[in-house]
């Protein structure tokens, strides 16, 4: 079976049980957050062999996260604990409409001290695909170096690289640096998954076809532009097309939808699905995810995914 590697920072997430400003909320429910851990979870639930490269604090939240990964069948052989720095956390408000407020506590976290030297300890033999997002390079200069090292080592080993920009402007020192670094990383990828609003920031246009032009001119083979509820625009070396998304009755929380979409794309590629079937799967997982509060709770098993697609055709 194909082996997938992801690199990122998981966080203990505390979601408000009641609506209102975070400073006034008394009760929170703990779960797990982080774009890359969401993708890991989705891949594992669909039966794929996935391992997570990360660093956690030697603290209760760090052990909670490792236990979660073990329960989900996610490989932890590249997980390390830091005796000094702590595991990152975040607070998330409860809303009945619109996007929730999120407060991050990740500056100086254990993961933010990841370095290129840590990446050099990882054995890439047998790895078929590495999925990277634009979040780790935003967290610290050493994480930025680690991200480039991972992608460069993956390329040296002939490993397929998928890249999701996952822009977090508040984590970067400036938008100018963010755009420069993200596009440098994107140019090294085989496939990139920008959202249409991210494309506007990164390429200066929100026209999906022009976004695809921009990245193919950088040498990226496949560009899949996420269009939210409208589906996606796909550009490969040989074809291009728009594909509609799935409609859901009620959107609970849009956080994690893009990660679900990435799960669909990655598993479709690994299983050799036709590109149209891959995008159908990606759109379906994204649609399922927006009907759940947790960032990864709704990520489906294969049976749940097949049932959703059948019931919406």
Separation of alpha carbons 28 and 22, rounded Å: 10
Separation of alpha carbons 135 and 257, rounded Å: 16
How many CB atoms lie under 10 A from the CB of residue 23? 7
Residue 120 annotated among the catalytic residues of the structure: no
Per the residue annotation, which of 259, 277, 295, 306 is the catalytic one?
259
5: nearest Cα among 115, 124, 87: 124
Separation of alpha carbons 170 and 211, rounded Å: 23
Rounded to the nearest 5 degrees, what angle is found at the Cα of 29, between the Cα atoms of 25 and 30? 125
Cα 54 → chain centroid: 14
Q: 120-132 b/e with 16+ CB inside 10 Å = b?
A: eebebeebbbbbb
CA distances from 24 to 14, 19, 21, 27, 194 (A): 14, 9, 6, 10, 35
Residues 6 or more apart in contact with residue 59 via CB below 8 angstroms:
86, 87
Is 171 within 8 Å of 135 (Cβ atoms)? yes
Q: 35-67 b/e with 16+ CB inside 10 Å = b?
A: bbbbbbbbbbbbebbbbbbbbbbebebbebbbe
Helices first, then strands: H and E counts in the chain = 11, 13
- Give the residue numbers marked as catalytic: 259
């Amino acid at each position: 079976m194909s082996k997938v590697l992801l690199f990122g920072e998981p966080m203990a997430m505390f979601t408000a049980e009641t609506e209102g400003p975070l400073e006034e909320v008394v009760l929170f429910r703990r779960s797990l957050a982080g774009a890359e851990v969401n993708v890991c979870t989705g891949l594992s639930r669909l039966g794929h062999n996935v391992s997570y490269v990360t660093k956690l604090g030697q603290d209760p939240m760090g052990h909670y996260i490792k236990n979660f990964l073990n329960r989900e069948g996610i490989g932890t052989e590249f997980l390390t604990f830091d005796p000094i720095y702590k595991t990152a956390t975040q607070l998330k408000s409860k809303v009945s409409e619109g996007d929730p407020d999120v407060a991050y506590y990740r500056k100086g976290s254990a993961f933010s001290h990841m370095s290129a030297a840590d990446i050099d300890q990882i054995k890439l033999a047998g790895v078929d695909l590495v999925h990277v997002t634009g979040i780790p390079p935003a967290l610290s200069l050493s994480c930025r170096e680690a991200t480039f090292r991972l992608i460069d080592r993956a390329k040296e080993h002939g490993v397929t690289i998928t890249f999701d920009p996952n822009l977090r402007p508040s984590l970067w020192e400036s938008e100018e640096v963010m755009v420069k670094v993200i596009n440098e990383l994107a140019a090294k990828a085989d496939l990139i998954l920008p959202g249409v609003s991210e494309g506007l920031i990164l390429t200066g246009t929100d026209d999906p076809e022009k976004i695809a032009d921009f990245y193919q001119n950088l040498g990226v083979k496949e560009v899949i532009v996420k269009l939210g509820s409208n589906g996606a625009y796909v550009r490969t070396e040989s074809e291009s097309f728009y594909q509609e998304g799935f409609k859901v009755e009620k959107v609970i929380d849009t956080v994690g939808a893009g990660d679900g979409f990435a799960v669909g794309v990655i598993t479709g590629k690994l299983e050799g699905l036709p590109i149209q079937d891959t995008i159908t799967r990606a759109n379906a997982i994204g649609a399922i995810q927006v009907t759940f509060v947790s960032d990864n709770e709704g990520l489906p098993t294969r049976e749940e995914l097949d049932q959703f697609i059948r019931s919406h055709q």
